[in-house]
Amino acid sequence: MIILDGASLTLDELKRIARDYEEVKIKDENIIKINKARDIVKTIANGDDAVYGVNTGFGHLANVKIDKKELSELQANLLMSHACGVGEPLPKETVRAMMALRINALIQGYSGIREKTILKLLEYLNTDLIPIVYEKGSLGASGDLALLSHMSLPLIGLGELEYKGIRYEAKEALKLAGIEPLEGLKAKEGLSLINGTQAMSAVGGLVLYDSYRLLDYANLSLSLSMEALEGIMDAYDDRVHQIRRQTGQIQVASDVRRFLEGSMRVTKQNEIRVQDAYSLRCAPQVHGASLDAFEHVKMTLEREINAVTDNPIIFNEINEAISAGNFHGEPLAMTFDYLGIALSELANISERRTERMVNPHLSGGLPPFLTKDSGVNSGFMIAQYTAASLVSENKVLAHPASVDSIPSSANQEDHVSMGSISTRKAKTILENVRKVIAIEIFTACQAIDLRGNKKMGMMTSKIYEQVRKYIPFIKKDEPLYVHIQKIEKLLMDDSFYNAIF
């Protein structure tokens, strides 16, 4: 069980909620904070002073005062009017993460939402009643309004839910689950549910989690390529990397040395050649820079998933509501643009290693395109094409979304972050990089077999043996996509990862 307290949620715990269906509970102390903030909102709602989102309209309509009798209707209307998402539904795991993140923000007691409403969202999460949320429609300020509206509509019996793997209208799913929706929303509750960065945090958080694992595979595919190309280990000497003082680089070089421990396939300076091409020799510097980027993203993300992103913010200690801009997604927008760039570089350098293995002018004696009967057979020629295509696509996707902004809400919201686009781009880049790494692993195993029978490294032998359980040596041309897709799926399989690492 994971206990949310609004301050200590980690990336690993978010993954366990999203993918492992771990039960979630709210820390008892947070209930007191929730109720204190609610009392302040009730006082505001019963008073005459205009406070944004409590007794006013939204966005450009902030100057429109709302009658006390219409405050509940105002909040329900907000969810309905703002649920304008388009595109494909987000994966269930992403929506589960969204729900947990919004709960974690609301329980800090700066929102003014009712305890009852938070507990209803928690009940849906623990019962695995998961809203259908469409992927596109957020500008990343004021938060992820459209996407969080789709997440929140089922709380009042509207929208759509997935229950036991089947998609239903919310009322039907709730009836099947034996759960009652809220009778309605009270002052500020609709705004509290949707004013935040939890959609982009959910998408981006799971991408980041997967990025760390993919980097392990990138370091392992690099190590396989070192063996396939008889790479020079001197460039991985710890003394070289310590004096550069870049922590990611030091870690990657250490990992590769460990992966290749005991290998008879790698070489020393002047044994075959003086030095290697950059895609082998500079890989710790490149992979290490990506690791450092991941660490920066993780630091920013873990602050954000424990942040208050509401507007207005209710301060119990001064009995006051302050309207500000914590919902603005710029910290995440820039950060996940950076993650996309860092991921792209892993594919860029991986594709160059694949090219060296298939190119007879660069491979150091391997047959053209890694086939013994080249000419009648094209071998791995087009596997490298595919990797090059994915790398080129990533170059387009790596253009930052955060440098763009389109004014909205009659220019009241005149600068937005586009953070949800940053995170979705990072997800697509991640998926492309995984394919490129799969191609490198596939290619390196073929090249290693063609080099002859020599002892492999401590970890490279493990992945080689695991791959060869599913993927044969390619003796003559056959459809390669089947094998590439199989390796890609293996890279997403926990049991495959655990068998190696």
312 prior amide bond cis, ω within 30: yes
SS3 315: strand
Percentages helix, strand, coil for the chain (3-state, rounded to 5) are 60, 5, 35
Going by C-beta distance under 8 Å and a sequence separation of 6 or more, which residues neighbour residue 457? 223, 227, 259, 260, 261, 262, 263, 265, 266
The number of beta carbons lying within 10 Å of the beta carbon of residue 5 is 15
Rounded Cα distance between 122 and 116, Å, is 10
Rounded Cα distance between 125 and 136, Å, is 22
Catalytic residue positions, numbered: 52
Q: Which helix (H) or strand (E) holds 408?
A: none
Rounded Cα distance between 32 and 36, Å, is 6
How does DSSP classify residue 67? -
Residue 243 identity (one-letter amino acid)? I
* Nearest to 221, CA basis, from 354, 107, 340: 354
Q: Give residue for tokens 């492992």.
A: 20
* Nearest to 144, CA basis, from 91, 208, 83, 71: 83
Going by C-beta distance under 8 Å and a sequence separation of 6 or more, which residues neighbour residue 236? 253, 256, 257, 284
- φ and ψ of 270, to 5 deg: 70, 0
Rounded Cα distance between 96 and 369, Å, is 45
Rounded Cα distance between 465 and 280, Å, is 23
